[in-house]
Amino acid sequence: MIPGGGQPNMQQLLQQAQKMQQDLAQAQEELAQTEVDGQAGGGLVTATVTGAGELRALKIDPKAVDPEDTETLADLVVAAVQAANENAQTLQQEKLGPLAQGLGGGGIPGLPF
């Protein structure tokens, strides 16, 4: 309902919804192309993910490789991937958060906000 009892302009609402949909699609495409890194072990392991959360690369410094202690290396890999995913979520919030608020603040399905 519009204040004052008037009817909403359906054409205007439709145009606004279409623009928001286009903006959202563009932001999602940008996220899919943007890469962020996460590191562990003081940079011994670096994971690169897209803003959409796709793992693209994993770099392991040879100093991190100890054949007698593969468990520590595995822990560093997990920590680096988690850090990269946290950075991707932050990027998602920066890019998509304002768009989600424009949708009534209900958030976007599949995203953590």
Query: How far apart are alpha carbons 24 and 108 in whole angstroms?
Result: 10
Q: Which has the higher per-residue pLDDT, 83 or 8?
A: 83
Distance CA 47, CA 12 (A): 45
Give the global pTM. Answer: 0.67
Q: How many CA atoms lie within 13 A of 43 on its CB side?
A: 0
Confidence of residue 48 (pLDDT cuts 50, 70, 90): very high
